């Protein structure tokens, strides 16, 4: 356990000023040398068991909320992380929201509007499958997406990305001050591995549906996306809302990192079941007595 907790420390970015994506290898497993099968067992037996217990306390205590943000290129494994890591969680205490191209109604509002409505309540884990970070990623890579946002022209200038970073950082500061723990994961996939996964989708009948023609088009903008991701992490990594750069070429490893990070964050909250005070204790004892007497 101790070794697993140490390995991801390096992946946690709290200060972005000198962040360089080039120093992170998507194929890295941070010295963890186990088979896929072992990883699966470790995920289930070690991390997911703890996650289940912690989530029960989170729910019972009803004070903190957890916001998990998943970002990554197509086929980076966001869906797989949700499916596998969250299999340890009671569905009642967990909600997943996927953010797609904004609707007409959403474009009529400020960019945080649609995400604000989907924030997790106290006691819950909320997962954003993509998030308001798309506003400094896809929208930055494609100027036409910004043009659709109906912003007053005088507000759209070269400073717009810096302003969005500032607004996002301020928003996350606000959330954390109100009891939402913000954990942001960038599933860092290599271009070659994306190609391999796309081909696999195309060549496996049960996976073909996952392939969207647009995905190949986005792939052509790979370098622009990587620069946008790097700049985003530089400007929005903070101690209260860190980024985790998760090597994602090995699915088993990415899942382990996300699960371990989530568990560690929950453990740091020192969650306890609410304690029954003396007066409530007496009432409960009376209820028990009545039931026994039936």
Q: Which of 74, 135, 231, 249 binds Mg ion (CB under 5 A)?
A: 74
Token representation of residue 57: 């306390």
* CB-based contact 122:181 (threshold 8 Å): no
Cα(first)–Cα(last) distance of the chain, in Å? 49
Does residue 212 interact with ligand ATP by CB under 6 A? yes
Q: How far apart are CA 243 and CA 30, in angstroms?
A: 17
99: partner contacted, choices ligand ATP, Mg ion, none (Cβ within 5-8 A by kind): ligand ATP
Least Cβ distance, residue 36 to ligand ATP (angstroms): 21
| Residue 28 touches ligand ATP, criterion: CB under 6 A | no
| Edge-to-edge order in the sheet of strand 180-188 | 12-13, 243-247, 180-188, 65-72, 125-129, 94-98
Give one word for 120, left, alpha or beta, with left for phi > 0 and alpha for psi -120 to 50. Answer: beta
Which token pair is 231?
């700049």
> Between residues 99 and 171, which has the closer beta carbon with respect to ligand ATP?
99
For ligand ATP, what does the binding mask look like between residues 58 and 77, x meaning CB under 6 A?
----------------x---
CB of 74 to Mg ion, least distance (A): 4
Q: Tell me the closest approach of the beta carbon of residue 76 to Mg ion, in angstroms.
A: 10
Interface positions, 91-110, toward ligand ATP (CB under 6 A): 98-102
Is residue 220 a contact point for ligand ATP (CB under 6 A)? no
Q: How far is CA 51 from CA 29, 119, 128, in A?
A: 22, 20, 18
Rounded distance between C-alpha atoms, residue 99 and residue 104, angstroms: 14
Smallest gap, in angstroms, from Cβ of residue 77 to ligand ATP?
9
Burial of 219 (0-12, 13-18, 19+ CB in 10 A): middle
Part in contact with Mg ion (CB under 5 A); list of ranges 67-75, 198-206, 223-231, 276-284: 67-75
Query: Closest CB to Mg ion among 74 and 193?
Result: 74
Q: By CB under 5 A, how many residues form the interface with Mg ion?
A: 1
Residues that bind ligand ATP (CB under 6 A): 74, 79, 98-102, 129-130, 134-135, 138-139, 145, 212
Q: Which residues bind Mg ion (CB under 5 A)?
A: 74
């Amino acid at each position: 356990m101790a070794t697993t907790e140490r390995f991801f420390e390096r992946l946690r970015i709290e200060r972005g000023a000198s962040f360089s994506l080039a120093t992170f290898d998507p194929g890295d497993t941070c010295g963890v040398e186990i088979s896929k099968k072992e990883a699966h067992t470790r995920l289930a037996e070690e991390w997911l068991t703890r996650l289940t217990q912690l989530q029960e306390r989170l729910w019972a205590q009803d004070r903190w909320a957890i916001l998990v943000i998943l970002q990554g290129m197509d086929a980076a494994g966001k869906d797989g992380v949700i499916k596998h890591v969250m299999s340890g969680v009671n569905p009642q205490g967990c909600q997943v929201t996927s953010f797609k191209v904004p609707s007409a109604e959403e474009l009529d509002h400020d960019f945080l509007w649609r995400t604000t409505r989907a924030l997790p309540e106290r006691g819950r884990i909320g997962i954003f499958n993509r998030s308001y970070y798309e506003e400094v990623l896809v929208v930055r890579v494609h100027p036409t997406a910004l043009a659709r946002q109906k912003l007053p022209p005088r507000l759209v200038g070269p400073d717009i990305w810096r302003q969005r970073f500032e607004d996002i950082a301020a928003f996350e500061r606000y959330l954390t001050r109100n009891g939402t723990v913000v954990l942001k994961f960038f599933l860092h996939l290599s271009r070659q591995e994306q190609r391999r996964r796309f081909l696999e989708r195309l060549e496996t009948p049960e996976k073909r549906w996952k392939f969207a023609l647009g995905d190949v088009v986005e792939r052509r903008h790979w370098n622009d996306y990587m620069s946008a991701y790097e700049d985003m992490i530089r400007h929005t990594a903070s101690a209260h809302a860190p980024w985790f750069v998760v090597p994602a070429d090995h699915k088993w490893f990415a899942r382990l990192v996300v699960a371990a990070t989530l568990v560690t964050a929950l453990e740091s909250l020192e969650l306890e079941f609410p304690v029954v005070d003396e007066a409530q204790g007496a009432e409960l004892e009376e209820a028990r007595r009545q039931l026994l007497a039936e």
